[in-house]
A and B are shown apart, each in its own frame.
Chain A
C-alpha cells in the first residue's frame, strides 16, 4: 500500500470521528483517581505548584491535563503557583493559568501567581527548597513576588502541598531527585503517554505521589470533574487512529504471509 493512501486513511478517519463526535465510555483508572483524590483531600487555601516542563509541540496532548488540574484547584479554592523549567512552557503555562483563573474568577497574587522561567532546572529546583524568593525574586511580569499575598505565604517547599510537573520529557526525574528526595516534597507527574513506562518505577517505589497519562489521563480527570473538554473530545479520534493502526499492522502481516505462501519461500 502506498504511503500516501495510509496518510489519507488516517486523516479521513480522524477528521470523520471528530465531526461525528461519538461518545465513548471513559473508565477512570486508579492512577488518575489517586491524583484527583490527593488534590481533593487538600484544604481550601493550600498551595499547589504547577510546573510547565514541556514544549509547545506536545501541548495538544498534555495541555488538557494542566487545564483540568488548574480547574480542579481553582474550583476547590486551592492556590496555584505556576512556573516553567522549559523556556517554551513559560508562555504556555502563563496563558493556560490566566485563562483558567479568569474563567474561575480568581485573583492574581492571591489565588494564583506565575513565577516564570528559570534556566538550569537542577539549581532552580534545589534553590526553591532553600528559598523560592532567591530563585524567583520577581514573577513573570517582573513584579517582586513578595508584593503579593501569595508570594508572602510561599517561601519554600514546606508551604507547598504538591508539585505537579506537566512534562513531555524527563523533567519529573529531577523533581524526584532534588525536590522529593532532598526536601520531601510530594511530586505528581503529568506526562505524555509515551513517557509513562519511564516513570512507573518511581510510582511503585513511592518516590512519585501520582501519574497522569497523556490525553487519556486528561479525559479521565475531566470525567471526575464532570467537565468533558479537550481530553474527552480527543479520545474518540485517538481510539479510531489506534484501531486503524492495529488494522493496518494485521493486514500487513496477513498480506506478507500470503505472499510468502504463494512464493513458496520461507524466511
Chain B
C-alpha cells in the first residue's frame, strides 16, 4: 500500500467527478475550455490504453508459446495475424482496394459472421431440449416465446393477422414493464456508485483495496 498514491488517486477522482458534474450546469469560458481539454485527455489515455492492451496480448501469447506446447500454434497464428495486419495497415494504408481492407472484409468479417451464425444451430438445439413446460409459469413463458418467435417474422402474419399484434403487445407491455424496472434499478445503482467514487468511499477501481 502507498497512502500518498491512494490519496492522490482519490483526490483526482473526486476533483474530476465534481468538476464534470458542476460544468454540466454552469457555463463559464474557463470551465468550457477545461471540459474540452478533459475530453481530449480521455481520448489520449484510451489510445495509450489500446497500445498497452496490444502489448499485453503479445506478451501473453509469447509466454504461451514458451510454456504451453499444445496451445502454441494458436498463439503463433494470432501473433502472425496481428503483425500482418499492422504491416498491411502501416505500409499499404486502409483505403478501398488496400490489402488491409481486403483481408478484413474477405477473411475477418466472414469468419466472425460464420462463428456468430453457429449460434442459430445451438439455440435451436437448446430450445428443443430446454423449453419444457414443467409448470404453469414455464408454460406461459414458452407460449409467449413462441408467439413472439412466429409473430415477429412475415410468416406470422400469413398464419393469422392477430399474431403480430399479440407479439407486439407481449414485447411492448409485459416485457417492457420488466425492462423499464431493470433500467431504473441500474440507473439508481450507477448514481449511487458514482457518488461513492466521488466521495472516495468506493475504491475498488484502485486495484481492489
Contact = CB atoms under 8 A, between A and B. Distances in A.
Interface of A: 1, 3, 6-7, 10-11, 24-27, 55-60, 88, 91-92, 94-95, 98, 118-120, 122-124, 126-127, 130-131, 134-135, 140-141, 182, 193, 196-198, 200-201, 204, 216, 219, 235-236, 238-246, 248-253, 256, 267
A1 B181 CA distance: 39
B112 interface: yes
Contacts of B47: 119-120
Given A124-B43, A141-B93, A242 B164 contact: no
Nearest to B171: A197
B124 A235 contact: no
A118 B183 CA distance: 27
B112 A55 contact: yes
A94 B184 CA distance: 36
A7 B43 contact: no
A24 B155 contact: yes
B121 A6 contact: yes
Contacts of A182: 24
B56 interface: no
A246 B149 CA distance: 7
Interface stretch (B1-9, B59-67, B129-137, B198-206): B129-137
Interface stretch (B11-19, B71-79, B103-111): B103-111
Interface residues of B, number: 60
27 contacts: A10-B121, A24-B155, A27-B164, A57-B115, A94-B96, A95-B96, A119-B46, A122-B42, A123-B42, A126-B39, A127-B43, A131-B36, A141-B93, A141-B94, A197-B176, A198-B179, A200-B172, A201-B176, A216-B153, A236-B154, A239-B155, A241-B120, A249-B128, A249-B145, A251-B128, A252-B129, A253-B131
B81 interface: no
Q: Which 10 pairs show the lowest CB-CB distances between chains A and B?
A: A120-B46, A123-B42, A57-B116, A239-B155, A24-B154, A56-B109, A57-B112, A56-B112, A239-B153, A248-B128
Contacts of A219: 154
A131 B131 CA distance: 52
Contacts of B46: 119-120, 123
Which of B40, B42, B124, B157 has the most chain A CB within a 10 Å cutoff?
Answer: B124
Interface in B145-168: 145-146, 149-150, 152-158, 164
B123 interface: yes
Contacts of B142: 249, 253
A197 B124 contact: no
B113 A56 contact: yes
B124 A244 contact: yes
